[in-house]
């Protein structure tokens, strides 16, 4: 047990060191690409709290992600000069409000009914954002200036590609460690009990609806954090990121990487984005055909995802 833990932390430190060095050795395009992978990985990891640990498939994470983006954009446009910490505060608040709203109604349902309800809510928010042009900019979205990396009274430096990557890496790493602690806590054990056998968890006295609500709110909060990081990286918020197709991609990340692992969804996001980037260069507008074939093959032959497949091969 101790040996496995030691190996895990050694691997964690090696990967973290490689990610720290990435912006120093990679060209400009790949620097931004690796940063984007980290952001999408955080979004996938947040959804794994529901999909992998609680057994609740959510198609509403685009709403949390998009509202995080718009909350950050609103803060940057309302306050001059732009302030990073206000962007985080406004974005997290927007995502939290939406998560509470969705959790209150959706967690009363189970299985496919929960999934459909989250999809409906994401589409409601998409329509509101798309049509409320005076506030959200409609289909054009909102553009803003990127805030500086600053601590009041200590320092203030503008973001570069390198410093933005390191900031995103720090946020994603801290988020991973926090979520890992949550999943290994008694709370996380109850979520897994709900996933395995909800009627039995209810029968032994757990308030299943309350645990589900907290899981949705926690998941939505970290999804909103991913949206804030994406908005800061690209300096805009657009309604396309609230559309349910974003939620569908997040589910694909989880399936490809391995659900119920936290690391798996990040690996799935990296694999999918690299696959899409590589195939789009050769198949142009038809790249989704080979992507779909590969995804189908993985579901059939690697149902536990990349991480599960790797563990199985190492144990042989």
Token readout for 237 is 């918020």
Tokens 């990396």 belong to which residue? Answer: 149
- Please tell me the predicted confidence (pLDDT) of residue 170: 94
Distance CA 68, CA 76 (A): 13
Q: Where are the beta strands (DSSP E) in 118-256?
A: 142-143, 149-151, 155-157, 236-237
Token readout for 166 is 């390191």
Q: What is the radius of gyration, based on Cα positions, of the chain?
A: 20
Q: What are the phi and psi torsion angles at 64 (to 5°)?
A: -65, -45
Under DSSP, the state recorded for 240 is: G
Helices 208-234, 61-78: inter-axial angle, 10-degree rounding: 50
Token readout for 64 is 């949390």
- Please tell me the predicted confidence (pLDDT) of residue 185: 92
Under DSSP, the state recorded for 146 is: P
Asked whether 208 and 91 are in contact (CB, 8 A), the reply is no
Give the contacts of 165 (CB within 8 A, at least 6 positions apart).
22, 23, 31, 34, 35, 38
How many helices (H) and strands (E) the chain has is answered by 14, 4
Asked whether 161 and 28 are in contact (CB, 8 A), the reply is yes
Token readout for 206 is 């757990």
Buried b (16+ CB within 10 A) or exposed e, 197-216: ebeebeeeebebeebbbbbb
- pLDDT by residue for the chain (316 residues), tens only, comes to 677 678 788 888 999 999 999 888 888 888 899 999 999 999 999 999 999 899 888 888 899 999 999 999 988 888 777 788 888 999 999 999 999 988 888 888 778 888 898 988 889 999 999 888 888 888 888 888 888 887 776 777 888 888 899 999 999 999 999 999 999 999 999 999 988 888 898 888 888 889 999 999 999 999 999 999 999 998 888 888 998 888 989 999 999 888 888 888 999 999 999 998 888 888 877 888 888 888 888 888 888 888 877 777 666 5
- Please tell me the predicted confidence (pLDDT) of residue 315: 63
**pLDDT, averaged across the chain:** 87
- Please tell me the predicted confidence (pLDDT) of residue 153: 67
- For 143-195, how does the pLDDT look when each residue is reduced to its tens digit (9 = 90+)? 888 888 877 767 778 888 888 999 999 999 999 999 999 999 999 999 999 88
Cα 113–Cα 119–Cα 124 angle in degrees, nearest 5? 125
């Amino acid at each position: 047990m101790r040996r496995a833990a030691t190996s895990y932390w050694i691997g964690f430190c090696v990967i973290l060191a490689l990610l720290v060095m990435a912006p120093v050795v990679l060209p400009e395009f790949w620097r931004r690409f690796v940063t984007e992978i980290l952001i999408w990985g955080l979004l996938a990891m947040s959804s794994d709290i529901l999909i992998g640990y609680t057994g609740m498939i959510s198609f509403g994470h685009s709403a949390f992600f998009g509202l995080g983006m718009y909350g950050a954009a609103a803060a940057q446009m309302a306050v001059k000069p732009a302030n990073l910490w206000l962007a985080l505060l406004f974005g997290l608040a927007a995502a939290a409000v939406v998560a509470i709203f969705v959790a209150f109604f959706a967690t009363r349902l189970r299985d496919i009914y929960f999934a459909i309800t989250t999809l409906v809510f994401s589409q409601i928010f998409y329509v509101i954002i798309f049509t409320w042009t005076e506030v959200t900019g409609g289909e054009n979205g909102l553009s803003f200036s990127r805030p500086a990396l600053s601590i009041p009274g200590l320092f203030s430096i503008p973001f570069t590609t390198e410093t933005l990557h390191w900031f995103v890496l720090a946020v994603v790493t801290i988020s991973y460690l926090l979520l890992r602690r949550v999943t290994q806590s008694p709370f996380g054990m109850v979520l897994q009990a709900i996933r395995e056998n909800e009627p039995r968890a209810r029968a032994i006295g757990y308030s299943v609806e309350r645990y589900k609500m907290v899981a949705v709110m926690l998941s939505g909060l970290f999804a909103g954090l991913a949206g804030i990081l994406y908005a800061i990286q690209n300096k805009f918020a657009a309604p396309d990121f609230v559309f349910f197709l974003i939620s569908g991609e997040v589910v694909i990340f989880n399936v490809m990487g391995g659900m119920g692992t936290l690391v798996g969804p990040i690996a799935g996001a990296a694999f999918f984005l690299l696959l899409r980037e590589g195939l789009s260069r050769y198949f142009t507008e038809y790249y989704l055909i080979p992507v779909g074939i590969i995804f189908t093959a993985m579901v059939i032959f690697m149902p536990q995802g990349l991480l599960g497949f790797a563990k199985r091969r190492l144990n042989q």
